[in-house]
Amino acid sequence: MKRQGRLVRWEAERGFGFIRSPEVSADVFVHLRDFRDRQLKPQVGMAVHFEEIHVGGKGPRAVAVEAAAASAAAVPRAASRAQPRRPSGRSTAGTPWGAWLIVVYAVGLGAAVWLGHLPLLALAVVAGLSLLTFGAYAFDKRAAQAGRWRTQESTLHLLALAGGWPGAWCAQQLLRHKSSKASFLWRFYITVALHCAALGAWVFWLSKHAALG
């Protein structure tokens, strides 16, 4: 798919760098041989057009790269500086629902533990899963920026489904990773709904069983 962006890093001696585009959640790896014009000397800040591909589970890679005229560049000049990514619009992952849901979730867990429907260990497990999931997002973002092997999206979703979704949501906001890819976000929302529904059903079953006992 044809994308637009700016070169935000270039290692001239090693012949590779990274392109930043508002249409891609992670910086895109690019090699010198992927430029159509082999005489071109890439420079940081250069506006480019490119096609995004994914090979072997790694991060996004640019091919068929061409320098774009400054007037045709769709990426703001500020994006060319090596600063944390700032989304051009407010993503659905950044709306307050996530923070409020985490608060409600935490209160619900605390109440279930207080009433004896869940063991105290459940709080530690959820906190640990959230930290693990946050770490997985951070590792994947660094891998994407360095062009290394990426963590599969299915793994991130399984961690969220198991109970690490609060950590996933926090990572999306603080790291700006996986926060703009619509297909990923919808699957993430589904994992959150499934986890909360399953946990609620389990607590309800335990409370009903205890009342009957």
Specify whether the CB–CB gap between 8 and 18 falls below 8 A: yes
pLDDT at position 210 is: 55
Could you tell me if 188 and 195 are in contact, meaning their C-beta atoms sit under 8 angstroms apart? Answer: no
> How far apart are the C-alpha atoms of 22 and 45, rounded to whole Å?
15
Show the domains of the chain with their CATH numbers: 2-80 (2.40.50.140), 92-212 (no CATH)
pLDDT of residue 58: 73
User: How many Å apart are CA 61 and CA 148, to the nearest integer?
Assistant: 11
* The pLDDT value given to residue 209: 62
Global pTM reads 0.55
What six digits make up the tokens of 21?
């585009």
Three-class secondary structure assignment of the chain: CEEEEEEEEEECCCCEEEEECCCCCCCEEEEHHHECCCCCCCCCCCEEEEEEEECCCECEEEEEEEECCHHHCCCCHHHHCCCCCCCCCCCHHHCCHHHHHHHHHHHHHHHHHHCCCCCCHHHHHHHHHHHHHHHHHHHHHHHHHHCCECCCHHHHHHHHHHHHHHHHHHHHHHCCCCCCCHHHHHHHHHHHHHHHHHHHHHHHHHHHHHHHC
Mean pLDDT by 10 residues, the chain (213 residues): 84 87 84 83 87 77 78 43 45 62 90 87 92 94 80 93 93 86 90 91 72 51
